[in-house]
Amino acid sequence: TYTGAESFWLSNEGQKLKVWHISGNSDKAIIYFGGNAEDVSINIPQFKALFDNYSIYLHNYRGYGGSTGSPTENGLVSDARALFDHLQDKHAHISVVGRSLGTGVAIALASERRVHRLVLVTPYDSMVHLASTYYPFFPVALLLKDTYDSLSRSTGIDIPTLLLIAEHDEVIPRRVSESLSSALKAEHTTVTVIRGASHNTIETFSTYEKAITTFLD
């Protein structure tokens, strides 16, 4: 267990989902969707330190961190919806933070629900575009079942959105992130490049912490 955090179970589509909760001092909330195979509980100390005025919910995907089932795009988006709907009446507004894979889940949720603010950490425009940068000679659009097409969903995003991009992201090429940022409505979108950061170190930079706390304050 973590000091100041507790977990609860949410049921959806026959699956049990483990959600970590950090109680805040206000009726504002943040939901966090992590990266691929990430045990989101590792983020508890940092989130607790950065957002002591928020209630924070960190959601373990199906098949990870104690949650049952296996992860599919439809399943993860359905679970995100279920968690948001479960929390909606408890909070005046709910902001959403997605990281890496989780940016696709976060955008899907924000395109369907009344999210207050949206933070996308090391985002991509679609899994098809991302995969094609690694396998340019394979028909990845035909092979991928889960496309996480954030580009098409971005047209439904009408809320303040922050993209945090690692300068030296070795997993998600800059052009894949910038394709998404250029599709989002310019008047709602802020893009911050974290200098010196790589895909897996971005959250360790003080510039990252300052950008995310300023945006969500």
Say what percent of the chain tops pLDDT 70. Answer: 99
The domain spanning residue 166 has which CATH number? 3.40.50.1820
Output the pLDDT for position 141: 75
Query: How open is the CA angle 116-196-166, to the nearest 5 degrees?
Result: 35
pLDDT tens track for 161-204: 999 999 999 999 999 999 999 999 999 999 999 999 999 999 99
Domain span at residue 200 reads 5-216
Where residue 25 falls among pLDDT bands split at 50, 70, 90? confident
Percentage of the chain beyond pLDDT 90 is 84
CB 140 within 8 A of CB 128: yes
Helix, strand, coil percentages (3-state) for the chain, rounded to 5, are 40, 25, 40
pTM: 0.94
Please state the domain count of the chain: 1
